[in-house]
Amino acid sequence: MPTEIIKSGEVRVRIAPSPTGPLHIGTARTALFNFLFAKKHRGTFILRIEDTDLERSDPKYEKDIVEHLKWLGIAWDEGVEVGGEYAPYRQSERIYTYSKYVQKLLGEGKAFYCFHSKEELGRERQDQLKAKQTPIHLCEHRGLPERKIKDFMAKGNYVIRFVAPKKKVIFQDLIHGEVEFDTSLFGDFSIAKEIGVPLYNFAAAVDDFEMKISHVIRGEDHISNTPKQILIQEALDFPRPKYAHLPLILNPDRSKLSKRYLETSIGDYRVAGYLPEALVNFMVFLGWSPGTDREIFSLDELVKEFGLEKVQKSGAVFNVEKLDWFNGHYVRQKNLDELAKLCLPYLSAQAGPGEIDLDYAKKIVALERDRMKKLSDIRELAGFFLKEKLEYEKELLRWKKMTDEEVATNLKTVKTMIEPISDDLFTAAAIKETLDKEAEKTGKGELYWPFRAALSGLKQSPPPQEIAEVLGKEKTLLRIRAAIEKIGRG
């Protein structure tokens, strides 16, 4: 698609999640694209909570959405001012607005009351499907006289339906180009449960008008809603915003995104130890490309580079390995103090009762940061630092075909050689210098492998002299003694 010419300040966009679940990747990506588009054009980004479904909406999910958009750095520019900040707009607080427009459509004969029961509609749908017809409802209640309407309303149970004109709805999608729908496939679709309880398409059309939304940027799964919203806009003489439908997010095999990822919330990724800047960098590539090989962008850099003309039409593949790569990059970019503080909760959980000293945490993190993909990795990578006693099989101490006696001898040699090093000089450099000459005689693997395994209890870990410096002399010697006992040559 050609680049759209937009005047600075004229853009107004929104993200409109329902508080029926926590913030997920798909919604967060849509929010990010709207945010970047607004900032690129010095426009306004709005958060609107679509909470008219009172049975399914829950304030805890609104709180989750708000908290995690802020955590990602996706801030909105407008809303209900509370204590110097903008709370999101809520549809539940705008009932009068919807009622006014429903009444207008009813008064002009563009909407009507439908009194069919769910059971009747269900039977009609099943009959149409059996006959291989498109399941639509063309309601005979369209022209009911006022007396009949009052009789039905006294019994309750009704919806308000829109009189859909039979026509072709054509709109220019900023990503997909010209899109056309035949409205004869819609039937008389519902717009409200009752006067003050709007359904999605009607509320979205009204809100987009009232909030002067210039561009509706949302997922491709909403593209079938667009013609219905356009019909409502036309019936109410609203101007039509411009539409851009983002590509679907797919599994690595290009199938529909599985629940494993789709239902993993931003909060879950946060708890797992993913950083907000990594998630932002990862999400922007779910459908957008800068047109170069560059992959690392700050939020400010993305604002400068972003454009809808660079959004792809085809599905965007979700690759968790790529997310881990982004996160590992940002983990390594953190200064040690900040990274240690971020890792502290994971280390504390691993250690059990008692607090972990921040200085000790910094030593551990400094040693392990290059192997971390996410913050929670520190638990598995460095848990051995926090244990009083290591649990491992004695075979782990053996380098290749060493005998038990050879393992024990080399461990005793290490112990004897490092014991004279004073506590204040017990550093990785001093330990390595002390042992390297001996390693030339015995073989590096034969000397260092049992030493490392004794200190970590793992097949893979940092070099033993670096572990020893973090553990300190006392703990290092204790673990060597325990390994000698384990090998059975004490």
Angstrom distance (rounded) from CA 357 to CA 412: 31
Residues of each annotated binding site for ATP: 259
Q: Above 80 in pLDDT, residue 4? A: no
Q: Above 90 in pLDDT, residue 354? A: no
Mean pLDDT of 267-280: 97
Out of 20-24, 123-127, 213-217, 257-261, which region has the weakest mean confidence (pLDDT)?
Answer: 257-261
- CATH of range 95-246; options 3.40.50.10300, 3.20.20.100, 3.40.50.620, 3.30.70.360: 3.40.50.620
Walk across the sheet containing 190-194 and list its strands.
111-114, 159-162, 190-194, 197-198
Out of 70-84, 271-285, 417-431, which region has the weakest mean confidence (pLDDT)?
Answer: 70-84
Judge whether 12-93+249-317 and 95-246 match in fold.
yes
User: For residue 330, what pLDDT band results from cuts at 50, 70 and 90?
Assistant: very high
Angstrom distance (rounded) from CA 316 to CA 254: 8
Kindly report the backbone phi and psi dihedral angles of residue 190, in degrees, each rounded to the nearest multiple of 5, phi listed first: -75, 140
User: For residue 255, what pLDDT band results from cuts at 50, 70 and 90?
Assistant: confident
H/E run at residue 68: helix 59-72
CA distances from 375 to 45, 266, 359, 442 (A): 31, 15, 17, 38
The pLDDT of residue 490 is 46
Q: Give the chain's mean pLDDT.
A: 92
Q: Above 60 in pLDDT, residue 121? A: yes
Angstrom distance (rounded) from CA 136 to CA 127: 11
H helices of 259-403, in order, are: 259-262, 266-272, 276-284, 299-305, 320-333, 336-351, 358-368, 377-382
pLDDT tens digits for 193-246? Answer: 888 789 999 999 999 999 999 999 999 999 999 999 999 999 999 999 999 999
User: For residue 356, what pLDDT band results from cuts at 50, 70 and 90?
Assistant: confident
Tokens of 102: 């429903």
- Is CATH 1.10.10.350 the right assignment for the domain spanning 394-487? yes
H/E run at residue 216: strand 215-219
- Is CATH 3.30.565.10 the right assignment for the domain spanning 12-93+249-317? no
pLDDT tens digits for 33-53? Answer: 999 999 999 999 999 999 988
Mean pLDDT of 110-131: 86
Tokens of 427: 């550093």
* DSSP one-letter code for 236: T
The pLDDT of residue 367 is 95
The length of the chain is: 490
Angle at the Cα of 455 from the Cα atoms of 450 and 460, rounded to 5 degrees: 75
Told to judge if 259 belongs to the known catalytic residues of this protein, a careful annotator would answer yes
The pLDDT of residue 402 is 93
Q: Do residues 312 and 355 lie in contact, with contact meaning Cβ atoms separated by under 8 Å?
A: no
pLDDT tens digits for 71-119? Answer: 999 999 998 888 888 999 999 999 999 999 999 999 999 999 988 878 8
Within 10 Å of residue 11's Cβ, how many Cβ atoms?
A: 21
Residue 81 three-state SS: strand
The pLDDT of residue 471 is 96
Residue 155 three-state SS: coil
The pLDDT of residue 9 is 72
Domain limits, the chain: 12-93+249-317, 95-246, 341-386, 394-487
Mean pLDDT of 426-434: 97
Kindly report the backbone phi and psi dihedral angles of residue 113, in degrees, each rounded to the nearest multiple of 5, phi listed first: -85, 135
Tokens of 166: 């039979």
DSSP secondary structure string for all residues of 159-201: EEEE---SSEEEEEETTTEEEEEEGGGT-S-EEEEETTEE-HH
The pLDDT of residue 145 is 74
* DSSP one-letter code for 265: B
* pTM of the complete model: 0.91
| Residue tagged active-site, from 166, 259, 389, 400 | 259
The pLDDT of residue 2 is 53
